[in-house]
Structure 1
Amino acid sequence: MDPRTSAQDVMRCDLCETAVVQMHCDTCLVNLCKACVGEHFSADLSKPHKIVHFKDKKSTLIHPRCTSHDEEMCEMFCTHCDVPICSICLASDQHLGHKLVRVLEIRDKKRDKLIKKQTELKEKIYPNYQDIASDVQNRMSQLEKEYGDLSTAITKHGEDWHREIDKLVKKLKAEVDEMKNTQLQTLQKHLDEINKTMSDIKDEINSVDSVLESTDISSLFSLPSTLDRYTNLPRKITVSIPKFIPKKLQADQLFSLKTISIKSDEYGYSMKTTQKSPEAGSSPPVKQLLDEPEIVATIDTEYHFGLYNVASVSDEEIWTRGNDNTMKLYSINQGSLLKSITTKSGNTPRDIAVTKSGDLVYTDDTVNIVKNEKIEEVIRLQNWRPKGVCSTSSGDLLVTMISDDKKLTKVVRYSCSTDEQTIQFDDKNKPLYSSDTRYITENRNLDICVSDSGAKAVVVVNQAGKLRFRYTGHTPAPKNQPFNPRGITTDSQSHILTADYNNECVHIIDQDGQFLRYIDHVLFPWGLCLDTNDLKVMDCV
């Protein structure tokens, strides 16, 4: 067997193709035996060949070549020009005054970002695709079963119709036989009467013949005058048979199928987090809205001048804030105060939220988080003031903010205090929000929902910040007042709920902005949140 083509053979030198590989050129990515190293060097003296042991191959970092000087390797990077540069470029005036860093430093940053993205692909995105593929396969299996059930139902329905048709044919034939027998009996009776009359007529004829043949004149006088009664012929009986009128059957008169639909929903799947609960991977059960809302619990928060926010920690606990500098944690079931937190600045908080880990977040002139009853400032802004805040499914913070001159409004996504995304304008470069945005929340499909009181609308954009729709209320409104959205939240079905202060109700719309219903008779609703069971928690002024 030729050792060079044997699957069990060791690796051979790329030059001589006979000797066992011992060395490797990290510059040219060529496998070499020791005897061929010199030949490889001499073959191309223009390159700085890096020869290492075969086991250490690809251990040498290869710097990028200079775009201006082909033979030079770049060890520095110009951040101003965003290009790697060599020592010749560095000595020239081309990059004078520019910020320069080592290529390896840029490489490390890009590598870290790549590792982070790869980790996200491995641990988050790919598992989500696996779940989606599994979901599609499950739905295909379910489809096979349901179509099998459908075929069985059609067959059974056909058999039922066959039985009904057989019964109907048998009934019609019986009715035909009954009609025939009735008419035959009537005609037979009529025939019997005619035959009897004919017999009587023959008797009369014989009697007349006898009288006519007799020489006894007296017999002629004694002949009864009954012959005239036969001059009136019997009545005529006419019968008609029933006419068979077959009805033309159409297939849909027996049974029909509704047309199928295949719908592609851009927002049908949402990204799951890597921290999966035991129920992760299964779709939430569809919950029906109650015809009439039920009051489960009432809490007296003792805010004398208005209650403006509620944020659910769990099914048992809820944070509240009013128009002072104190935020209060209450037990929902007991209605008792568990703890109070005063803002670090002494200012009234503009909004509150709860993170995935259960920590309280609030905004005043800064964005702050409360951990173990200690307040940490996480975001401080320049020329902007934070307003609404929410914690997303991925652990980011979404913050609405207004410029110091109160002319501009935007939404910013923060990850570990770093701004990752800014949402401010639509595709036509027009502002998405007015200067009076109130509150913000993330929907289950990762849409970002903002209650914009100034625009009298709920503004919904997708995860990328592209406008999906504006909801401007529903007519007729309970109080026939202009739509005035305040608190906003979403449930497990991706329904969006927003408090309408003017109309004393809560609007419930679906994830595409279609109105579903009102929760009516709520006195001046303001804040709004939900617990894990989709119980709506509202506060009122």
Structure 2
Amino acid sequence: MAVHEIGNQLVAEIDKKKQEREPINNDFLALVADTKGELNEMIEKNNSILCSNDATALLGYETKNQNFRSVPKQEGTCPTFQPGFVEKDALLTMFCFMHISVHNIQSPYASYEVFPKLDNLHCIGSEIWLSGSNRLIQRINRAGTLLQKISTVNRPLILASNLKKELIFAFVLPNTKVYILKNNKIQTLMDLDSWCPVGVCCTMNGDLFISMRSIRKGHSRVLKYAGTKETLNIQYNNKGKALFSINVSFALHLAENRNRDICIADYGGRNVVVLDALGRLRFNYRGTFSNKGEKSAFKPSHFATDVKYQMVVSDIANNIVHLIDCNGAFLRYLGYHCTGGLSLDIDGNLVIGDLMSGKIKVIRYLGEES
């Protein structure tokens, strides 16, 4: 309202100035019209002399150019607009943009020069599960204190959890099994035979979505399971074209949005694929930049959805986080490095990791109304 009031005041002042200037402008226009008439009359007279054979008129001609050398000047000055300096932080506060607070945690992956590095993280309650480029899965609290360390037979690729807050994970290709941690013991949850799991998420009713690639990487798909029973197979669009990238081994991190959409971050395909609850394509998000010349191609990696139905996706190529609404419209960037995983904690805070330093940031990015 205040912005509209200020605008209305400025418009009223301009209208007032225009009314005050109107008589002066009319007098000036009348003077210009008279001068133009005299000038045209003189030009016609000169042309008639040139076209005639009257030597007396030619020899007796006296120029009147001097009468027109001084151009009539309009009195008064026009108002000019001089924009003031805009303080960015003050403007953000004035328009009630989200106030972002950040809490830093140092994970066990602390600035290793070579290996291991922080690859992935997943929040369960107030705790954070981590995996890196070594054969370990580790659990820490918000203070960064190591609570548990689990040795694995291979390098973990993905971390997830079910409604019972049990950790679910899978290893890098060509592993074909999905594992679960029950009573601190690793058990096989599912064997996908000739398919390799590259993403897992639990739905609001306890079902599992698993993204997978064939062992030879020629096919990619997403399956939904109720227990161990397959209930949905998503691989192609309505034209028979593959929905997901193939011939690559990258993860297909996925999440179910609160509107039941299935959202997949396809790093290999350089887009976010959003499907409805029946697996039909709703839209693809391929990134958006104000100055594309200064940015690399969009490469989405880790993914989450929040209580506002928004999608939070890390863009590894540009080391930034995109915030997208449930219809694929870009909302804003969260300018934090996010190369070592992304998740939302029990309070709705964004938790992101940095691959090289092992540092974790807990970011409160949602407004108070959330």
TM-score normalized by the length of structure 1: 0.44
Deviation at residue 526 of structure 1 after TM alignment: 3.9
Alpha carbons of structure 1 residues 433 and 289: separation in structure 2 relative to 1, 3 Å: farther
Q: Give the match's secondary structure for 1:483.
A: coil
For 1:500, the aligned partner's letter is D
**Contact 2:323–2:331 at 8 Å: present in 1 too?**
yes
Map of 2:134 onto structure 1: 324
What is the distance in 2 between the residues matched to 1:295 and 1:481?
26
For 1:335, the aligned partner's letter is G
Map of 2:124 onto structure 1: 313
Q: Which runs of 4+ in 1 moved over 4 A?
A: 288-292
The size of the alignment, in residue pairs, is: 249
**Contact 1:481–1:503 at 8 Å: present in 2 too?**
yes
Deviation at residue 291 of structure 1 after TM alignment: 4.4
Does residue 375 (structure 1) correspond to residue 186 (structure 2)? The answer is yes
What is the distance in 2 between the residues matched to 1:290 and 1:327?
37
Does residue 335 (structure 1) correspond to residue 150 (structure 2)? The answer is no
Q: Give the match's secondary structure for 2:337.
A: coil
Map of 1:468 onto structure 2: 282
Aligned with residue 509 of structure 1, among 324, 327, 336: 324
Map of 2:106 onto structure 1: 299
**Contact 1:293–1:519 at 8 Å: present in 2 too?**
no
What is the 5 A alignment of 1:466-505?
Answer: 466-476=280-290, 480-505=295-320
For 1:407, the aligned partner's letter is G
What is the distance in 1 between the residues matched to 2:99 and 2:120?
24
What is the 5 A alignment of 1:175-254?
Answer: none
Deviation at residue 457 of structure 1 after TM alignment: 0.3
Deviation at residue 539 of structure 1 after TM alignment: 1.0
Alpha carbons of structure 1 residues 501 and 375: separation in structure 2 relative to 1, 3 Å: same
What is the distance in 1 between the residues matched to 2:199 and 2:266?
11
Deviation at residue 523 of structure 1 after TM alignment: 2.8
Q: Give the match's secondary structure for 1:350.
A: strand
For 1:469, the aligned partner's letter is F
Deviation at residue 374 of structure 1 after TM alignment: 1.0
What is the distance in 2 between the residues matched to 1:432 and 1:293?
35
Deviation at residue 290 of structure 1 after TM alignment: 5.1
What is the distance in 1 between the residues matched to 2:97 and 2:242?
37
For 1:525, the aligned partner's letter is T
Which has the larger Rg? Answer: 1
Deviation at residue 477 of structure 1 after TM alignment: 6.0
What is the distance in 2 between the residues matched to 1:485 and 1:367?
23
Aligned with residue 539 of structure 1, among 332, 353, 365: 353
For 2:307, the aligned partner's letter is S
Deviation at residue 524 of structure 1 after TM alignment: 4.8
Fraction of identical pairs, as percent:
32
RMSD (CA atoms)? 1.8
Aligned with residue 440 of structure 1, among 254, 274, 287: 254
Aligned with residue 405 of structure 1, among 202, 213, 216: 216
Alpha carbons of structure 1 residues 417 and 299: separation in structure 2 relative to 1, 3 Å: farther
Deviation at residue 308 of structure 1 after TM alignment: 1.7
What is the 5 A alignment of 1:262-281?
Answer: none
What is the distance in 2 between the residues matched to 1:524 and 1:311?
13
Aligned with residue 197 of structure 2, among 372, 379, 386: 386
Q: Give the match's secondary structure for 1:363.
A: strand
Alpha carbons of structure 1 residues 449 and 477: separation in structure 2 relative to 1, 3 Å: farther
For 2:350, the aligned partner's letter is K
What is the distance in 2 between the residues matched to 1:403 and 1:447?
24
**Contact 2:271–2:286 at 8 Å: present in 1 too?**
yes
Does residue 353 (structure 1) correspond to residue 353 (structure 2)? The answer is no
Q: Give the match's secondary structure for 1:295.
A: strand
Does residue 421 (structure 1) correspond to residue 217 (structure 2)? The answer is no
**Contact 2:321–2:338 at 8 Å: present in 1 too?**
no
What is the distance in 1 between the residues matched to 2:223 and 2:271?
19
What is the distance in 1 between the residues matched to 2:97 and 2:147?
31
Alpha carbons of structure 1 residues 302 and 385: separation in structure 2 relative to 1, 3 Å: same
Q: Which moved more, 1:526-535 or 1:353-362?
A: 526-535
Map of 2:337 onto structure 1: 523
TM-score normalized by the length of structure 2: 0.64
**Contact 1:310–1:528 at 8 Å: present in 2 too?**
yes
Q: Give the match's secondary structure for 2:104.
A: coil
What is the distance in 2 between the residues matched to 1:289 and 1:451?
30
Deviation at residue 502 of structure 1 after TM alignment: 1.4
**Contact 1:354–1:360 at 8 Å: present in 2 too?**
yes
For 2:117, the aligned partner's letter is G
What is the distance in 2 between the residues matched to 1:433 and 1:464?
16
Task: Flag the structure with more relative contact order, 1 or 2, with Cα contacts below 8 A and sequence separation at least 6.
Answer: 2
Deviation at residue 476 of structure 1 after TM alignment: 2.3
What is the distance in 1 between the residues matched to 2:150 and 2:188?
14
What is the distance in 2 between the residues matched to 1:350 and 1:539?
15
**Contact 1:437–1:450 at 8 Å: present in 2 too?**
no
Deviation at residue 497 of structure 1 after TM alignment: 0.5
Map of 1:38 onto structure 2: none
What is the distance in 1 between the residues matched to 2:301 and 2:108?
19
**Contact 2:200–2:253 at 8 Å: present in 1 too?**
yes
For 1:324, the aligned partner's letter is N
**Contact 1:448–1:463 at 8 Å: present in 2 too?**
yes
Could you list the runs of 5+ residues in structure 2 that have no partner in the other structure?
1-94, 356-370
